[in-house]
Amino acid sequence: MNTEEALPPFSIGFAGALSVAYTVLYVLPFYLSSTTRPSPALSRDAPSVIRARMRFVSVSVTLATVVTIYLLATRARVPRLEILRLLGWYPIGIIEIVKSLLLTAILFAGPLFEKAVIEGAWKEWIQGHGLHESLSSWIGWRNYIAGPVSEEILFRSLLVPLHLLTTLSPTRVVLLTPLYFGIAHIHHFYEFVLTHPHTPLAPSIIRSLIQFTYTTIFGWYATFLFLRTGNVVAVILAHTFCNWAGLPRVWGRVEPRVAIGGPATRGKEDSESEESKMRKGSWGWSIAYYVLLVAGAVGFQQCLWSLTESPRALAKVE
């Protein structure tokens, strides 16, 4: 009798099968309708495709949420407030959100420096122009709102609690569940090949493998963050931040897009000297960028545990 009471509500196989079903439910609708299915003449970035996909994703995530809550309430017999806690919906800790964003910003210290100082975007940030421009297109809404919200609810808020209620340790949950998130992005390979028919197959495969790798790595971080903070909003905002920042450059010279101080009027006799100054200046920017890139990575490693510590943690990750 005691052994039966100690058994977890879900088996690893059941949680895995349901996770696969959720992943298929999330991706499959993209290809069932002509309004969401890309073609050589219709890009996934077309506003009509984005709007249609957002509608389908909303339905898919809603269905998955209903199923998960039902299973937690009936099969796992989790109390109502505890269900909200497991999903990371309540309570929403502002401190955890701020600390999570700070930790993510530390990791992206180099790219932030490049955007803010080298490219001079800090003025736009203060005036709020950058936010307005980012959200003034359907691509922006997909990348910074719909994508992070739907993906984090499905792949973190729903999948992680199901696996926590199995015999898997929290560490294994961190390592395993992001694989579904990475697999969910493999369909971009088909889309890329379809919309870029003249691109050789090998580069397309390499591109997809790289995407699978960095989405899985981000998934590890997001799952770790979710378990440590118990806050899905913190993870959504971290996801949005990473989408906005993009992959950090790890090679090449860093140069401003526009010469600092505005365009200069030059004659033939001083063009070479001006270009020489620009090249020398770019080396300075590059050194500063790569120093901050390394410093950010070290700072991230040093602050990873302290900035994710929370009394609302869903599990102890070791």
262: left (phi over 0), alpha (psi -120 to 50) or beta: left
Of the residues 82, 119, 124, 185, only one is catalytic, namely 185
Cα–Cα separations (whole angstroms), residue 278 to 22, 164, 260, 285 = 52, 55, 10, 10
Residue 306, helix vs strand vs coil: coil
State yes or no: is 185 an active-site residue.
Answer: yes
Residue pLDDT, tens place only, 190-236: 888 877 788 888 888 898 888 889 999 999 999 999 999 999 999 99
Cis bond before residue 91 (omega within 30° of 0)? yes
Whether 139 contacts 71, CB under 8 Å: no
Q: What is the pLDDT of residue 294?
A: 97
pLDDT tens string 94-136: 999 999 999 999 999 999 999 999 988 888 888 777 777 788 8
As a whole number of angstroms, the distance between CA 130 and CA 140 comes to 11
Nearest to 239 by CA among 155, 308, 168, 132: 155
Q: Of the given ranges (17-21, 177-181, 195-199, 246-250), which has the lowest mean pLDDT?
A: 195-199
151 is catalytic: yes
Go through 223-235 and write b for each residue having 16 or more CB atoms within 10 A of its CB, e for each that does not.
bbbbbbbbbbbbb
The residue from 151, 152, 163, 239 that is catalytic is 151
Rounded to two decimals, what is the model's pTM? 0.88
What pLDDT, in 10s, does the model give residues 27-75? Answer: 998 888 888 887 777 888 899 999 999 999 999 999 999 999 999 999 9
| CB-CB neighbours of 47 under 10 Å | 12
Helices 268-303 + 94-107 axis angle, to 10: 130
